[in-house]
Amino acid sequence: MPLRLGVNIDHVATLRQARYARDPDSNLVEPDPVEAAILAEKSGADSITAHLREDRRHIQDHDIFRLKDALTTKLNLEMGNTADILNVALKVKPHDVCLVPENRHEITTEGGLDCVANRTSLGSTIAKLQGIGTIVSLFIDPDPAQIRAAGELNAEFIELHTGAFANASGAERDAELQRLVEGAHLAHALGVRVNAGHGLNYRNVRAIFAIPHLQELNIGHAIISRAVVAGLPSAVAEMKTLCKSYCG
């Protein structure tokens, strides 16, 4: 099965909010993350990821509704396990939801969910999302206990957190890659499908192709950064071409 590419458009909204957070109804508001998402689709993206945070620092509620209506591929809604955001998800009914940890003081997601400690609350949220036909993924570190807990929670997917790998070098990087490989093997054995993301870019993505059973990568910052100088179609197409060399 070809490795799919999910493009995260959060940073398009970050740029918009930097100028227009106090004047959202201005007819000058730009850039539009929905317009960017449609262009990413046309350039080869297999899905669009957007993270609706509690503090609404970038993506806004109306973006999520507009994305659901506009996309021809699928919407992957990243969200913390909170009542407020869950209510939005239950109204939007996205194709996919990826449940992630969230800390208001972090710049970006810093680690995986603790599925072991939060089993009860996660179980309730997963059941509600699956009840509306949404496919649920859990963003977790490649820790065997967390992977087993994800399987016991009946999540269809895990998204392996590749941030520790992306931030490491030398022997430490090799060790983190091995953890990811072993985690993917364990998830597959438990019947849980595997995605991956966080910190992946045009330089390091080939290395994670050693991870077996991958179905989709979710990449945002690197693609949007490349798009600033190369254009979004070129940035998406280049990453999509890299994904085609995966043989997992």
Q: What is the pLDDT of residues 116-159, one digit of tens each?
A: 999 999 999 999 999 999 999 999 999 999 999 999 999 999 99
Reported as a single tens digit per residue, the pLDDT across 45-83 is 999 999 999 999 999 999 999 999 999 999 999 999 999
pLDDT over 90 percentage in the chain: 91
Query: In CATH, which of 3.20.20.70, 3.30.300.130, 3.40.50.1370, 3.40.50.150 is domain 4-243?
Result: 3.20.20.70
**Beta strands in 55-172, from DSSP E residues, in sequence order:** 75-79, 96-99, 135-140, 157-161
Give the C-alpha separation, 182 to 238, whole Å.
28
Per-residue confidence band for 23, with pLDDT thresholds at 50, 70 and 90: confident
Tell how many helices (H) and how many strands (E) occur in the chain: 10, 8
**Whether residue 109 has pLDDT greater than 90:** no
What is the residue extent of each domain of the chain?
Answer: 4-243
Q: Which residues does 16 contact at the CB level (< 8 Å), separation at least 6?
A: 29, 30, 31, 32, 33, 58
Amino acid (one-letter) located at 69: D
CA-wise closest residue to 138 among 202, 190, 174, 173: 190
Q: Please give the model's pTM, rounded to 2 decimal places.
A: 0.94
Reported as a single tens digit per residue, the pLDDT across 161-176 is 999 999 999 999 999 9
The reported pLDDT for the residue numbered 110 is 62
The reported pLDDT for the residue numbered 9 is 98
The reported pLDDT for the residue numbered 203 is 97
The whole-number average pLDDT for the span 100-111 is: 66
Pairing of strands 75-79, 47-51: parallel
* Residue where the block lists tokens 């209510």: 87
Cα-based distances in Å from 41 to 52, 102, 226: 20, 27, 16
**Whether residue 26 has pLDDT greater than 80:** no
Residues forming the active site: 51, 78, 198
Per-residue confidence band for 105, with pLDDT thresholds at 50, 70 and 90: low
Please give the torsion angle defined by the CA atoms of residues 155, 161, 162 and 168, in that order, rounded to the nearest 10 degrees.
-150
Burial of 120 (0-12, 13-18, 19+ CB in 10 A): exposed
